[in-house]
Amino acid sequence: MRRLLILPLLFGILSADSGILDIKWPKPNAKHLKPSTPYPKVLTEGIKDVRLPVYIPNSYAYIKNMVVIADKNFYTISFPFKGATVTISGDRTYQESVSNKQEFKAILKAIPPVTFQQEEGIMTAEFNRHGVNYSMEIECDKPQRDKRCTDTKLIKELYSRLIMVGGHP
């Protein structure tokens, strides 16, 4: 009996304050969405159900050993390189419950549109586009010595070269 009772409680807990973000869809760039050389299947198949704009750095679009994990509300694409992995993800799910709405409102106001920093040895970029939140991360085998993880140069460059390669309303 008790087990049965846990189900509605868990359902309530997991869905009570979560939702799906609205997207202000960007004007698609036909060249990026349908390039003359088609993107590898791993990418096109992996993101076919995604219902948010899918961004990746343009120079990574043809990397065949990329790993794509996605469903309709999020995607994570990892690009493995020697000694480091670059990952980009976007997510439409949100939570609305916080301890103090006023405080969180102020925090939201103060957050810059994009941040670049190293945390726990991982170089990160956080940004919001079209109402969706995205993260890009570089994790290095040698986090304290590898410039890709100690210097913001690469992540800034990758950020400046993001293109939308898929996703649909």
Partner 1 sequence: MRTLLIIPFILFFSACTQEQPKPNKPLTEEEKKFTFSPAGQLVPAKSGQGRNGDNYIYAPGIRFPIESAPAYLNSQVYGIGGLYGARGSLCNEKNYQYPWHDNYCEKRRWGMPLCSGGKGHQGVDIRTATCEKNKYYAVAVEDGIITYIGKYTVKLRGKSGRTYRYLHLDSPSVLVKKGEKVNRGDRLGLVSNNMGSTKTSIHLHFDIKETIKINGKSTKVYVPPYTSLVDAYKRLLRGNP
- Taking the CA atoms of residue 168, residue 40, residue 163 and residue 49 in that order, the dihedral angle to the nearest 10 degrees is 20
Q: Which is nearer to partner 1, 145 or 161 (CB)?
A: 145
- Tell how far CA 81 is from the center of its chain: 19
E-strand stretches of the chain:
18-20, 54-57, 67-71, 74-81, 84-91, 93-95, 114-119, 122-129, 132-140, 162-166
Residue from 34, 44, 49, 98 touching partner 1 (CB under 8 A): that is 98
For partner 1, the binding residues in 23-82 under the rule CB under 8 A are 67, 69, 71, 73-74, 76, 78
x/- track of binding to partner 1 for residues 6-25 (CB under 8 A): -xxxxxxxxxx-xx-x----
Binding site for partner 1 (CB under 8 A): 1-2, 4-5, 7-16, 18-19, 21, 67, 69, 71, 73-74, 76, 78, 85, 87, 89, 91, 93-101, 104-105, 107-111, 115, 117-122, 126, 128, 131, 133, 135, 139-145
